């Protein structure tokens, strides 16, 4: 399996661009998948600069935040020329908000469902779903411990403003003979909850790699230490992380896990 980072918070390659967002191309034996689409200003530029695909099989969205769906909203027409199918949670159009004083700013999907459905076929799920041979979407993630890395994130559900529990968030799993690869967008649920969810849904499978944002850039130091210790105990062979993970958490993981950790950047390529 090959993962190419299209959009991330960091870049060091000429002609590529960085932004606060995440997108990657996942190439398995049989499928090419665009996983998330960043904010929107980076996606098409970097796809062209990297010359990585003329068509893809599907788009997968990890959750509805603007920095993961913005590229789709900004380039509906162009992306519809690459593929027809989008896989996401049935709650992908939830109204995600950030509290700003006494008001709320919309930080969710900039496109409404009807606009997307004019260009694509939506495949929506809430439970574990196989989307292709050996490729799965997790469905809603069960939380076994409290994780709240950002107290300002809310959602409007059934007309009420509530703390965002990210019921639309899910991860993707690619099965191989030796084990499974896990790809996540932001991990708002918390890494411990995500990995426990993986183990409950893919019993007996070794987690070979974890790729994506781990959302600790606003976490307290004690929470970062707890999460990094848990990751260390899981003995995952490869961790490719950046975006919302945060510098402190990334450096601590690098210190404890060494070469098993790669700090992602736009244009990085990982052969797994």
pLDDT (tens digit per residue) in 175-213: 999 999 999 999 999 999 999 999 999 999 999 999 999
pLDDT of residue 33: 98
Over the stretch 97-130, which tens digit does the pLDDT of each residue have? 999 999 999 999 999 999 999 999 999 999 999 9
- Mention every residue, 6+ apart, whose C-beta is less than 8 A from residue 259: none
Judge residue 48's burial from the number of C-beta atoms within 10 Å of its C-beta, 0-12 exposed, 13-18 middle, 19 or more buried.
Answer: exposed
pLDDT of residue 201: 98
Over the stretch 219-264, which tens digit does the pLDDT of each residue have? 999 999 999 999 999 999 999 999 999 999 999 999 999 999 999 9
* Domain enclosing residue 92, as ranges: 2-271
pLDDT of residue 251: 96
Number of folded domains that form the chain: 1
Q: Tell me, what DSSP letter sits at residue 184?
A: -
- Mention every residue, 6+ apart, whose C-beta is less than 8 A from residue 145: 190, 192, 193
CATH number for the domain including 85? Answer: 3.60.15.10
The backbone torsions φ and ψ at residue 202, rounded to the nearest 5 degrees and listed phi first, read -125, 65
pLDDT higher than threshold 90 for residue 151: no
Q: Could you give the 3-state DSSP secondary structure of residue 201?
A: helix
Alpha-carbon distance of 65 to 153, in angstroms, equals 11
Q: How many CA atoms lie within 13 A of 203 on its CB side?
A: 1
Report the predicted TM-score, pTM, of the whole model to 2 decimal places. Answer: 0.97
pLDDT higher than threshold 80 for residue 148: no
Sheet holding 153-157, edge to edge: 103-106, 95-100, 153-157, 160-163
CA pseudo-torsion sign 169, 174, 175, 179: negative
Alpha-carbon distance of 97 to 107, in angstroms, equals 5
Over the stretch 2-36, which tens digit does the pLDDT of each residue have? 999 999 999 999 999 999 999 999 999 999 999 99
Q: What is the DSSP string of 217-248?
A: TT--HHHHHHHHHHHHHHT-SEEEE-TTS-HH
């Amino acid at each position: 399996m090959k993962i190419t980072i299209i959009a991330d918070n960091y870049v060091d390659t000429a002609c590529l661009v960085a932004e606060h967002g995440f997108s990657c191309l996942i190439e398995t034996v049989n499928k090419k998948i665009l996983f998330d689409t960043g904010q929107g200003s980076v996606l098409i530029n970097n796809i062209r600069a990297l010359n990585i695909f003329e068509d893809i099989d599907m788009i997968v969205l990890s959750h509805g935040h603007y920095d993961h769906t913005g590229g789709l909203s900004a380039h509906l027409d162009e992306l519809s020329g690459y593929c027809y199918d989008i896989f996401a949670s049935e709650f992908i159009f939830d109204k995600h908000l950030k509290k700003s004083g006494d008001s709320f700013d919309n930080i969710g999907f900039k496109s409404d469902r009807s606009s997307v459905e004019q260009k694509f076929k939506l495949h929506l799920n809430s439970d574990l779903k196989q989307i292709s041979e050996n490729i799965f979407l997790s469905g809603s993630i069960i939380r076994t411990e409290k994780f709240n890395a950002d107290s300002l994130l809310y959602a409007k559900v059934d007309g009420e403003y509530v703390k965002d529990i990210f019921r639309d968030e899910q991860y993707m799993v690619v099965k191989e003979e030796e084990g499974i690869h896990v790809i996540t967008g932001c991990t708002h649920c918390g890494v411990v909850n995500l990995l426990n969810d993986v183990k409950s849904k893919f019993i007996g499978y070794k987690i070979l790699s974890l790729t994506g944002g781990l959302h600790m850039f606003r976490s307290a130091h004690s929470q970062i230490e707890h999460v990094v210790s848990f990751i260390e105990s899981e003995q995952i062979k490869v961790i490719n992380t950046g975006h919302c993970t945060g510098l402190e958490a990334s450096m601590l993981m690098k210190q404890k896990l060494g070469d098993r950790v790669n700090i992602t950047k736009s244009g990085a390529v990982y052969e797994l």
